[in-house]
Amino acid sequence: MSLAAFQAEHLPLVEAELLHFLTEQTSEKELLEAMSYSVKAGGKRIRPLFLLAVVAGFHHELTTGVYQTAAALEMIHTYSLIHDDLPAMDDDDLRRGKPTNHVVYGEGLAILAGDGLLTEAFHLLSRAQLNGEEKLLLLQLLAEKAGAKGMVAGQVADIKGEGQQLDLAALAGIHQRKTGDLLTFALVAGGILACQTPAVLTTLEVFSHHVGLAFQIRDDLLDVLATTEELGKTAGQDAEAGKNTYPALLGVTGAKAALDRELTGAKAQLAILAEEYNFAPELLQELLAKFEM
Amino acid sequence: MSLAAFQAEHLPLVEAELLHFLTEQTSEKELLEAMSYSVKAGGKRIRPLFLLAVVAGFHHELTTGVYQTAAALEMIHTYSLIHDDLPAMDDDDLRRGKPTNHVVYGEGLAILAGDGLLTEAFHLLSRAQLNGEEKLLLLQLLAEKAGAKGMVAGQVADIKGEGQQLDLAALAGIHQRKTGDLLTFALVAGGILACQTPAVLTTLEVFSHHVGLAFQIRDDLLDVLATTEELGKTAGQDAEAGKNTYPALLGVTGAKAALDRELTGAKAQLAILAEEYNFAPELLQELLAKFEM
């Protein structure tokens, strides 16, 4: 099955689980509206897609519990976007071509919509149709990757680093936590849901580190190279905000080379999974191809 | 054992679990500082205290897992205070006699400190020294009570209701979710940790509804009657902000009568627990006595 067909078949089921749960679990109309607005704002669902592609690659059934785990992950990602866009943080007015949450609903409700999505992500996962042991493992991993040494720490480090000259290692450390850790969850959770061994989970984690960095380098490059219209958010903002980016540190050519290196590293891990663990790599290969520039 | 002795013996162990976990799980110094600042800001730890008093009242051991559950609850409470105090919300500069989190650390870091505490609360609970079944039950309950039909919804309804004239039922509906639901968690979690039956958990829930309302009415009354110095936060702010409060709706005398009614209701549930379920009610009785005005 092609990636496009896979996406078309499975991503709507993730979104359905997500919106069904939110609708059922929210007692204030405005809160539901604000949360749903950002959920529906047309993201690429790259994290759920990685998770599902791993589960499917191991020839494991895409159960309701799998969709629910992917939905919880997307809720965490969505909350982080809402909070990151706030005036006190990145102060973004546009996201995916639409006004950001606080522009539409005001800052107070935007903060609460983020808090609601974050809390309901753990709620959904805690009630997912999975066995108890699996659920606890996934809850621990999600909280770790989204928490104070994961995504939240990455955002703190990012804010702190603004206007300072960082070296490559410091920049990578920020991105691994800020965007990489949720990708790591996506890939490792896929392995957990497909009942894989610790050795496989480790390979998936190494794979995710390459993908996470590739993702961020590409994002930085797009901010430099694309127009606002193509990007769906205001272009050229990173440089304006004095942000540390790969193109700023390495130049555009250097950043493209770094991107290639990470993609090559990712493919090497994928080859191990395919050769040693009966993993069907086609979907992930197609996904990686989209990162090339 | 008196309440004072009980507190002095057990609350430090809750705080120790909390700070130990945060320190271990945070990779950015500033983030740890901002989170710890609000945790240490000298709250009364009323929620952990209720939880521990229930467990002890059922003659059940106060294990590490019990302290960890109480710590997770206090982390959720602390995050909610940080976010509620933000300029986009209640815009409070003082809390417990100290500058609020965003006054000290800036809005961006305050939002992230809240996000970190919220996420790490679920993290701590998911790794607590409890059996798996108990943990999942507690995780589900905590997420439900803190989430989009619980505390977060209550805060949305509170913001929405500002400047509008609400009736008593609407006001109670806001407070049940905004402050009552976490108290409900405290009391029902105590019952779960003490291995009690569904019938007992229901009694604890009814008890918690009375206590939650009493707590809020008392808080409203204090805002009218106390000075800023006595209160540790700016007094008279509710009226200024056009907030719906019990004294505004019922007058001071009426609000005091409502407080008495809720305390009487709470005592009735406590009597049931003592008579029918071998519960030692002394600690909770002493706690309730503190609510009287």
pLDDT digits (tens, 9 = 90+) for B246-278: 998 999 999 999 999 999 999 999 999 999 999
- pLDDT value at residue B17: 98
What is the distance between the alpha carbons of residues B43 and B70, in angstroms, rounded to a whole number? 14
Predicted confidence (pLDDT) per residue in A89-115, tens digit: 999 999 888 999 999 999 999 999 999
- pLDDT value at residue B238: 65
Number of domain units in chain A: 1
Contact A136 B147 (CB under 8 A): no
Q: Which residues 12-31 in chain B show a CB within 8 A of chain A?
A: 22, 25-28, 30-31
Question: What's the CATH code of the domain at B51?
Answer: 1.10.600.10
- pLDDT value at residue B96: 82
Residue of chain A with shortest Cα separation from B80: A115
Contact B31 A148 (CB under 8 A): yes
Chain B residues touching A27 at Cβ < 8 A: 148-149, 153, 177
Q: Which residues 178-207 in chain A show a CB within 8 A of chain B?
A: none
What is the distance between the alpha carbons of residues B187 and B145, in angstroms, rounded to a whole number? 12
- pLDDT value at residue A230: 62
- pLDDT value at residue A225: 86
B216 in any annotated domain: yes
Name which of B31, B140, B153 is nearest A28 (Cβ-Cβ).
B153
Name which of A106, A139, A146 is nearest B139 (Cβ-Cβ).
A139
- pLDDT value at residue A155: 95
pLDDT band at B24 (very low <50, low <70, confident <90, very high): very high
Name which of B88, B115, B144 is nearest A123 (Cβ-Cβ).
B144
Average pLDDT of span B206-235: 83
Q: What ranges make up the beta strands (E) of B69-217?
A: 94-95, 98-99
Residues B141, B144, B146, B147, Cα dihedral to 10°: 160
The chain-wide mean pLDDT, for chain B, equals 93
For A8-17, B50-59, B212-221, which range has the lowest pLDDT when averaged over its residues?
Answer: B212-221
B127: tokens are 């790794």
- pLDDT value at residue A124: 98
Q: Are the CB atoms for A101 and A38 separated by under 8 Å?
A: yes
Q: What ranges make up the beta strands (E) of chain A?
A: 94-95, 98-99
What is the distance between the alpha carbons of residues B36 and B179, in angstroms, rounded to a whole number? 22
- pLDDT value at residue A244: 80
Residue of chain A with shortest Cα separation from B106: A88
The ranges of chain A with pLDDT < 50 are none
> How many Å lie between the alpha carbon of B153 and the closest alpha carbon of chain A?
6
Task: Give φ, ψ of A58 to 5 degrees.
Answer: -90, 15
- pLDDT value at residue B270: 97
Beta bridge partners of B181: none
B3 in any annotated domain: no
Question: Is residue B137 within 8 angstroms of chain A, CB to CB?
Answer: no
- pLDDT value at residue A228: 58
Contact A136 B126 (CB under 8 A): yes
Helix (H, G, I), strand (E, B) or coil at B162: coil
Contact A108 B143 (CB under 8 A): no
Name which of A25, A30, A153 is nearest B160 (Cβ-Cβ).
A30
CA distances, A197 to each of A58, A192, B126 (Å): 12, 8, 21
- pLDDT value at residue B237: 67
- pLDDT value at residue A226: 77
> How many Å lie between the alpha carbon of B148 and the closest alpha carbon of chain A?
5
- The rounded percent of chain B whose pLDDT value lies above 90 is 82
B80 in any annotated domain: yes
- pLDDT value at residue B173: 92
- pLDDT value at residue B165: 85
Q: Are the CB atoms for A101 and A113 separated by under 8 Å?
A: yes
Chain A residues touching B189 at Cβ < 8 A: none
B150 in any annotated domain: yes
Task: Locate all alpha helices (DSSP H) within A226-245, ordered by sequence.
Answer: 228-231, 237-240
Q: Which of A287, A69, A289 is nearest to A191 (CA)?
A: A69
Domain that holds residue B212: 8-289
